[in-house]
Each structure stands twice: as C-alpha cells, then as structure tokens.
Amino acid sequence: MAKRKGSSTFFKCSSCGYSQPRWMGRCPDCGEWNTLVECIADDSASVPFGTRSTDGVRERARPLPLSAVDPSLGTRIVTGISELDRVLGGGAVKRSAVLIGGEPGIGKSTLLIQTASAVRSRLTAEQGGSSGTKSRVLYVSGEEAASQIRSRADRLELKKDGIEILCSNRLDDIESALNALNPVCVIIDSIQTVSSADAGPVPGTVNQLKYCAAELTAWVKERDAVLFMSAHVTKDGSIAGPKALEHLVDTVISFEQNDDRVRFLRALKNRFGSVDELGIFSMTEKGLVPVDDPSAMFIVRRSGGIPAGTAVVPVFEGSRVFMVELQALTVPAKSAITRVYSDKIDNARVSRVAAVLEKRAGLRFSDQDIYINVAGGVRLTESAIDAALAAALYSARTDIAPPEKTAITGELSLAGEIRPVNRLKQRAKAAHTLGFTQVLGPEKDEDIIAVADIQSLIKTLFR
C-alpha cells in the first residue's frame, strides 16, 4: 500500500514522551538510553493531550509483535502503604490509572496526600537518596488551596520534599504541568472538578468527566507513571458520573467506613490483581493507619458469657481470614408485613436462610421482624456465612446462647444441607489460632466437627 500523503515517521521516548524526527541512542530530554521508538504521525488529526511532538502532529497507532513488548513496562510501584498495596495487588502498576471513590469527608484527600508522600519517599530511597526526575510526584487539587494541603501534610507529619502542588481545575494547566515535570505519580483530587473548554463550559458533566479522564489516562499510558484519581459517590455508594468513567481506568477502589474510626478499601475492578482483598485503616490524628490485627475488630470482647443471637464465622477476604461475629435479633412484627433489617448482609440471603429454618427446623419466622448486624461493620457476601447466619437466627428466636469459642462455616442449601466451602482447612486453622476450641463445618477433619445438615448443626450447637 502506498504511503498516505501527510504521514511521516518520528521517534518518541518511551520514558518521558519526548519526540524528534531522527533516532538517537540517548534521549536528549531525560537522558535514558535506547528508549526512542519509531512512531507513525498523521498530520490530518488534531494534536492530543500531552503530545510533545516536535512537528506538531498526532501519533498513529502502530502494531508491534507481542514478543517485542518489554515486560518491565508492567512492573509495579510500591506505595509503601501496606493496606493500599494489598488492595492494588502488590502495588500500583506502571502506566495504569486508579480511581478511588468515597463519601465526602471519609478521608480520600488524606489517603492521597499520604500516598504522595509515601511514593516519593520510597522512590527516593530506591535511587539511593537522590531526588531525580524519576521520583517526582504531582498533586493536583481542584477543591482545596495549596495552604490547606500544606496544613494537612504538616498535621500528618509527612515528608513534603519532591511533591509538586497544582491547584487548578483546568485541563490545560494540568497538561502543561505534566509535560514540564514528567512525574512518576500523578494525583487528581478530584476528577469531577477538572474541566476542559473542548468538552463544554460546565465542569462535572458527563462529557467533561469522560473527556478529562480519557485524556489523563492517555497521558499516563505513554509513560512510566501511575495516575490516582479521586471521585465523588452518589447516595447509594456508586461512583458519580457515567459508567464509562470506570471502564476508562484500570482499577476502581471503593473507600467505605463503618464508624468514625474504621475505613475499608475494597477493589471493585482490578485488571492487575484480585478484587477479593480488603484493606483496613484506622483514622487517627496522624491520618490513616493500617490495622495490624483486623480480626480483633470483628470479635466483640465480653467479660461475661455470649448472649443469644450471636455466631462467629471465619471469612476469607482475599488472602486473609477474619473471624467475624454475626448478631441477630427477632421481635414480633409490628404490622401484617414482616421486614428484614440488614445493611451488611443482603436481605435476600437473610430471608432465604430464615425460610430454610422455618421449613427444615420447624421454627417460625413468618411473624417476626429480623434484625441482622455484623460486628465491625464489614460487608459480607460469600456463601460460607450461611450456616453461622442460621445458627444466629435460631439462637435469637429461641433465646438460647451458643457455646463459647465456637466458629461455624458452611453454605446452606434450600434442602437444609450444609455444603462445602472453599479453603475450609485454612478457615479452621485460623479459628484455632485465634483461640476457638471447636469449628463446625460440612467436612470431617481433625480440626473440624462435621455437620451434614441444619438439624445436626442445631443439635450439635444447642444440645
């Protein structure tokens, strides 16, 4: 095929984005060796965000053999915040975009400024203490003044050297700062405040969010950098704006809280890791502190005996096992219609377990209002909690307390069977390590008391 008129080739640095018409062994801008890659330009297209081409033309995508791709481009940048790295899958992958959504005042800005300081400190240490261009961090704020960010950093006693602050909501200003600094970590707080004249005059609209997020993501995809963006959420907890915003980024993280002190990080989408990991922080006067012993948060410490309506279940969150206490309460319905009040366990699951108990154990719930709570406020979704939930409901309905130091796990079928769950032995081992003397489950083992169905579970627990 003949070469299209107006098209040309040039060489672009894969490290800093600098481009020029001829190949050189060393990039004249960042000084890296063998980073200039041949690209095809198209002068009929508009110049995109972040392009640093010397001839003012736009790059055209060009295929290359998969075997020629450098695998080191997918290495991770460890932030130094253990719980955040856990949720990200071991650190933030280079050339990726991370979107963090949470309610107002939950601590998104605190988490981001701590991340900026931790990334800067870690990269500087890896470079032997030198403060080069490969450890620069750019913090863009469209909501706060620079003095407010400085005050927060001082209150949290963070290292501030090497962190550049840009207080602007104009995409053009961010583009200029990115091309001038070429930072290794970019933080946008928040994406809803960023606007561009090319997408309309009003910030926060659907077009603005998609356009600005796409341009920022395109910039970071061409460089060895990581992009963190915070986002507002709606009343139901989902990220505000078009769903396309979540498709544009590589990782979507939900920032949640159960009270004024505890914060949870959970990945809703992660192209480079698991979405099962749970990060737990404690909000203190020194900022967000990772929780070393999360199991202690979900078990209520009592001086007396265990009350009726409680049951403990070992829950897997990613690679960790938590011992979580379920609490149930049943009271006569106040009207002809019974209700289920449960915000941490799905109402449909609670209703299904209650129906199985009513059918297979002869215990009536059709005239009761059911209240379910999870100690510590963590949201539970896995089916392994079914047996413990059934035990808590039976205990609450009969007002008989379960035995102490007993953990229960297993999936409950509609026929009343206790079915196996994944990694049962690891759950039992974790329970015994934390001081539980017996574990009830669907399979017999030296550490597990086997219960085949709901009837045997009730007989074993309540004699």
Residue 141: cis peptide before it, omega within 30 degrees of 0: no
Same domain membership, residue 252 and residue 390: no
- For residue 341, what pLDDT is reported? 95
Q: Which of 288-292, 327-331, 455-459 has the lowest mean pLDDT?
A: 288-292
H-assigned helices in 361-405? 386-398
Query: Is the predicted pLDDT of residue 74 greater than 70, yes or no?
Result: no
Please give the Cα distance from 304 to 326 (Å, whole number): 18
Of 84, 99, 18, nearest in space to 52 by CA: 18
More confident residue, 68 or 146: 146
Q: In whole angstroms, give the CA distance from residue 12 to residue 159.
A: 34
pLDDT confidence tier of residue 4, bands split at 50, 70 and 90: very low
Distances (CA, A) of 65 to 74, 93, 229: 16, 22, 32
On whether residue 400 sits in a domain, the answer given is yes
Q: What is the pLDDT of residue 23?
A: 85
Residue type, 149: I
Residues 81 and 56 in one domain: no
Inform me whether the pLDDT recorded for 32 exceeds 90: no
Place of tokens 């460890």: 78
Phi then psi dihedrals of residue 37, to 5 deg: -115, 140
| Residue 319 pLDDT greater than 70, yes or no | yes
Q: Are residues 163 and 302 in the same domain?
A: no
Does pLDDT of 232 surpass 70? yes
pLDDT tens digits, one per residue of 81-113: 999 999 999 999 999 999 999 998 899 999 999
**Which of the listed residues 19, 53, 69 is the one where a domain comes to its end?**
69
Mean pLDDT of the chain: 86
Q: Is residue 234 a part of any domain in this protein? A: yes
If we measure between CA atoms, which residue out of 298, 296, 294, 261 comes closest to residue 278?
A: 294
Q: Sorting pLDDT into bands at 50, 70 and 90, what band is 403?
A: very high
Which CATH number do you get for residue 99? 3.40.50.300
Answer whether residue 1 is part of any domain.
no
Reported as a pLDDT band with limits 50, 70 and 90, residue 58 is: low
| Domains held by the chain: number | 3
Closest CA to 123 of 154, 186, 80: 80
Q: Which of the four pLDDT bands, split at 50, 70 and 90, describes residue 1? A: very low
Whether residue 410 is contained in a domain is answered as yes
Give the integer Cα–Cα distance in Å for 164 and 173. 13
Does the residue 398 lie in any domain? yes
Assess whether pLDDT exceeds 90 at residue 186: yes
Same domain for 130 and 202, yes or no, is: yes
Residue 3 pLDDT exceeds 70:
no
What's the pLDDT score for residue 42? 59
CATH number at residue 377: 3.30.230.10
The backbone torsions φ and ψ at residue 99, rounded to the nearest 5 degrees and listed phi first, read -110, 125
Of 140-144, 303-307, 332-336, the range with the lowest mean pLDDT is 303-307
Query: Most confidently modeled of 225-229, 273-277, 424-428?
Result: 225-229
Confidence category of residue 241, pLDDT binned at 50, 70, 90: confident
Q: What is d(CA 406, CA 185) in angstroms, rounded to the nearest whole number?
A: 47
pLDDT number for residue 53: 45
Cα gap 153→433, rounded to integer Å: 39
Q: Are residues 407 and 442 in the same domain?
A: yes
Give the pLDDT score at 416. Answer: 95
Between 143 and 63, the higher pLDDT residue = 143
pLDDT of residue 172: 92
- In this prediction, residues 2-7 reach a mean pLDDT of 45
CB 18 within 8 A of CB 55: no
DSSP state of 69: S
Name residue 139's beta-bridge partners.
165, 187
pLDDT at 409: 95
Give the model's pLDDT for residue 201: 76
Which pLDDT score, from 0 to 100, does residue 257 have? 84
338-381 pLDDT tens trace = 999 998 999 999 999 999 999 999 999 999 999 999 988 888 99
Residue 132 has what pLDDT?
60
Checking if the pLDDT of 47 tops 90, the result is: no
Rounded CA Rg of the chain: 27
Mean of pLDDT values over 191-220: 88
Shared domain for 227 and 357, answered yes or no, is no
CA distance 160 to 312: 44
Check pLDDT > 70 for residue 5.
no
Could you say which of 292, 326, 356 is where a domain stops?
292
**Same domain as 276, residue 141:** yes
* Domain edge (last residue) among 236, 262, 292: 292
Vertex 377, ends 355 and 432: CA angle to 5°? 80
Q: What is the DSSP string of 271-288?
A: TTS-S--EEEEEEETTEE
Alpha helices in 127-238 (DSSP H): 146-155, 171-181, 206-221
One domain for residues 35 and 170: no
Please give the single-letter amino acid code of residue 312. V
In this model, does residue 54 exceed pLDDT 50?
no
pLDDT band at residue 61 using 50, 70 and 90 as cut-offs: low
Residue 287 inside a domain? The answer is yes
Domain that holds residue 141: 72-292
326 and 391 inside one domain: yes
Whether residues 308 and 366 share a domain: the answer is yes
Residue 325 has pLDDT above 80, yes or no: yes
In a domain, 341, yes or no: yes
Instruction: Look up residue 448 and give its DSSP letter.
Output: B
- Within 270-365, residue ranges assigned H as helices are 347-360
Judge if 197 and 51 occupy the same domain: no
H or E, element range at 99: strand 96-102
Question: What's the pLDDT tens digit per position in 118-132?
Answer: 999 988 888 776 656
Q: Which residues, including other chains, have CB under 8 Å from residue 76's CB and lie 6 or more apart?
A: 88, 89, 90, 91, 92, 93, 94, 272
**Residue 2: inside a domain:** no
168, two tokens: 């602007």
| Residues 45 and 181 grouped into a single domain | no
Q: Is residue 354 within 8 Å of residue 370, measured between CB atoms?
A: yes
* Share of residues in the chain with pLDDT > 90 (%): 51
pLDDT-derived band at 206 (thresholds 50, 70, 90) equals confident
Helix (H, G, I), strand (E, B) or coil at 219: helix
- Locus of tokens 């001082």: 154
What is the average pLDDT across 316-339? 88
